[in-house]
C-alpha cells in the first residue's frame, strides 16, 4: 500500500506543467467462486469435483497530457489460501498488466508502445481474455490511422527471454515475433466490415539444434449488421504457413443472428465451425484451426471444453447454439444451449468410426447491478457428453458433469483530477 501511495504522490508532484492534464485512478477487486465438477473435460471415473475462490486485484492509473496518453496497470491474481495467513510474500506477486504510452501525432495518426491489450472485433482471434483472472496483454508497438468511418491498426512484437549477449533459445510459451494489420470500415450506422491479417512466428530447434522461426498466417473478414432490432455478424478466417516445419491449412467460419423481440427480450441463433483433422489422417499437415489469442471462454460453451488451453490439433468443432437474453431493471438473465459435433472423422485405434455428435451443453447465467461500482454475476452449466466425447476427453460421460460460479466485481474510482 505504501508503494501505491508513493506512485500516486509522485504523479501528483509532477503535475506542475501549464499544459492540459488529466489523471484517473481506479481499482478492481474481483473474487470468483467456482464449483468444478467436469469443467474443461469430462470428470474421470472415480474422481470428485472441487471448489475454489480466485481473485483479481487491479490498480489502474490513466494519465493524459495534451497529445500524450499513458496507462499503467498493476495486478495480483491469487487463489484464496494459496499462501498461509502469516506469509511474508505473495505466491504470484504483483505483475504489470499494462504499461504503455501513446502519442497522437495528428488527429488521424497515433502510436502506442509497451505492454498493452490487443482486442479486435468480437475477440475471436485477438482479445483481452478478461474472464481469466490474469487476462492477456502483449509487449508490442501499434500504429493507428483513424478517420470518422475508417480505422487501420498495424503493429508488431519481438520477444526474448532476457537481455542476452549471445543467441539464446526463447523458452517462454509465446511467439518469438508477431506482426499484424487490422482494418475496419463503418460503411453506415448498420453495416461494418473488418479485415485482420496476423503473422505469428514461433521458435523451435531443428534436428541439428539450429534455432529457427516458422510463421503462421491467420487472416479473414468480420462483417456486422446492426439495426434497432437486428444484431448479426459473420466471419471467415483461414490459416496457412508453417509451424515447427509442418504445413498449416485450416479455417474457421461462423454466423450469428440476434433479434430484439421486445426492449427486454432478445433471441438469437448461431453456428460456428472450426476445421479439424480426422483421427486416422496420417498426413503431417496441420488441419485444425487454432483461435490463437482469442477470448475463447466466450465461445463454444462456458464450460471451456474447447480451445481454452485444450482441443488444439484435434478433430475440430461444430457448434450450433441458441441465445436467449432477458433484461429487467438491474437484472440480466441469459440461457444458451449448445449442440457440439466434431468437424472431422473420429476413428478409434480399432478403425471404428464414431458418431460425430460430441454432446450438449446448457449455460444459464445472470447479472445484477447491485450498486454503481458493484456488480454480481453467476451461472450454472451442465454438459451432457456422448461416447465420442468420452473417446476424445478420456472421461466419464455418464457422470453428472457440471459447473457453477458466482463473481462479485467492485470497481471504484478512487481519484480523478483534471486541469
The total number of structural domains in the chain stands at 1
Which pLDDT band, with edges at 50, 70 and 90, does 19 fall under?
A: confident
Per-residue pLDDT, averaged over 17-41, amounts to 92
- Residue 97 neighbours by CB under 8 Å, 6+ apart: 58, 73, 74, 75, 115, 134, 135, 137
Grid coordinates in use for 50? 472441487
Write the CATH number for 86.
Answer: 2.40.160.100
Which pLDDT band, with edges at 50, 70 and 90, does 395 fall under?
A: confident
- Residue 242 neighbours by CB under 8 Å, 6+ apart: 214, 215, 216, 248
Residue with the three cell numbers 484517473: 24
Per-residue pLDDT, averaged over 381-398, amounts to 94
Per-residue pLDDT, averaged over 161-178, amounts to 94
Flag the least confident range among 42-46, 143-147, 260-264, 365-369. 42-46
Alpha-carbon distance 151 to 126, whole Å?
16
pLDDT in tens, 62-110: 999 999 999 999 999 999 999 999 998 899 999 999 999 999 999 999 9
Q: Which domain holds residue 391?
A: 2-418
The CA-atom distances, in angstroms, between 213 and each of 55, 62, 97, 244, 250 are 37, 37, 27, 8, 20
pLDDT in tens, 179-225: 999 999 999 999 999 999 999 999 999 999 899 999 999 999 999 99
Query: What mean pLDDT value characterizes the chain?
Result: 94
What's the pTM value of the predicted model, to 2 decimals?
0.92
Looking at residue 20, what is its pLDDT? 84
Grid coordinates in use for 215? 510463421
Amino acid at each position: 500500500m505504501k508503494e501505491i501511495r508513493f506512485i500516486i504522490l509522485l504523479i501528483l508532484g509532477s503535475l506542475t506543467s501549464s499544459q492540459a492534464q488529466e489523471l484517473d485512478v481506479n481499482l478492481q477487486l474481483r473474487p470468483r467462486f467456482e464449483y468444478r465438477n467436469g469443467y474443461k473435460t469430462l470428470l474421470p471415473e472415480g474422481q470428485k469435483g472441487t471448489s475454489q475462490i480466485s481473485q483479481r486485484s487491479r490498480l489502474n492509473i490513466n494519465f493524459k497530457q495534451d497529445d500524450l496518453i499513458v496507462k499503467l496497470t498493476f495486478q495480483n491474481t491469487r487463489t484464496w489460501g494459496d499462501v498461509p495467513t502469516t506469509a511474508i510474500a505473495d505466491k504470484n506477486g504483483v505483475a504489470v498488466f499494462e504499461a504503455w504510452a501513446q502519442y497522437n501525432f495528428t488527429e488521424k495518426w497515433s502510436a502506442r508502445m509497451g505492454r498493452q491489450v490487443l482486442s479486435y472485433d468480437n475477440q475471436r482471434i485477438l482479445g483481452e481474455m478478461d474472464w481469466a483472472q490474469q487476462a492477456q496483454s502483449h509487449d508490442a508497438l501499434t500504429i493507428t490511422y483513424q478517420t470518422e468511418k475508417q480505422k487501420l491498426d498495424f503493429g508488431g512484437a519481438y520477444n526474448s527471454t532476457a537481455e542476452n549477449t549471445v543467441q539464446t533459445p526463447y523458452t517462454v510459451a509465446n511467439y518469438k515475433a508477431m506482426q499484424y494489420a487490422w482494418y475496419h470500415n463503418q460503411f453506415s450506422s448498420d453495416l461494418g466490415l473488418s479485415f485482420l491479417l496476423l503473422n505469428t512466428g514461433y521458435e523451435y530447434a531443428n534436428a541439428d539444434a539450429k534455432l529457427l522461426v516458422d510463421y503462421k498466417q491467420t487472416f479473414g473478414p468480420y462483417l456486422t449488421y446492426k439495426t434497432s432490432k437486428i444484431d448479426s455478424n459473420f466471419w471467415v478466417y483461414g490459416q496457412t504457413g508453417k509451424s515447427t516445419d509442418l504445413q498449416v491449412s485450416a479455417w474457421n467460419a461462423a454466423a450469428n443472428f440476434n433479434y430484439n423481440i421486445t426492449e427486454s427480450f432478445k433471441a438469437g441463433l448461431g453456428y460456428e465451425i472450426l476445421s479439424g483433422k480426422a483421427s486416422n489422417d496420417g498426413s503431417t499437415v496441420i488441419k485444425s484451426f487454432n483461435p490463437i489469442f482469442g477470448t475463447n471462454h466466450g465461445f463454444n460453451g462456458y464450460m471451456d471444453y474447447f480451445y481454452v488451453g485444450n482441443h488444439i490439433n484435434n478433430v475440430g468443432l461444430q457448434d450450433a447454439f441458441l441465445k436467449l437474453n432477458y433484461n429487467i431493471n438491474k437484472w440480466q438473465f441469459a440461457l444458451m444451449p449448445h449442440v457440439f459435433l466434431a468437424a472431422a472423422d473420429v476413428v478409434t485405434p480399432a478403425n471404428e468410426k464414431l458418431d460425430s455428435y460430441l454432446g450438449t451443453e446448457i449455460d444459464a447465467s445472470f447479472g445484477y447491478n447491485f450498486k454503481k461500482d458493484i456488480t454480481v454475476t453467476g451461472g450454472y452449466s451442465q454438459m451432457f457428453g456422448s461416447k465420442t466425447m468420452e473417446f476424445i476427453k478420456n472421461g466419464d460421460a455418464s457422470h453428472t458433469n457440471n459447473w457453477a460460479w458466482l463473481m462479485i466485481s467492485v470497481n471504484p474510482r478512487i481519484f480523478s483530477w483534471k486541469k
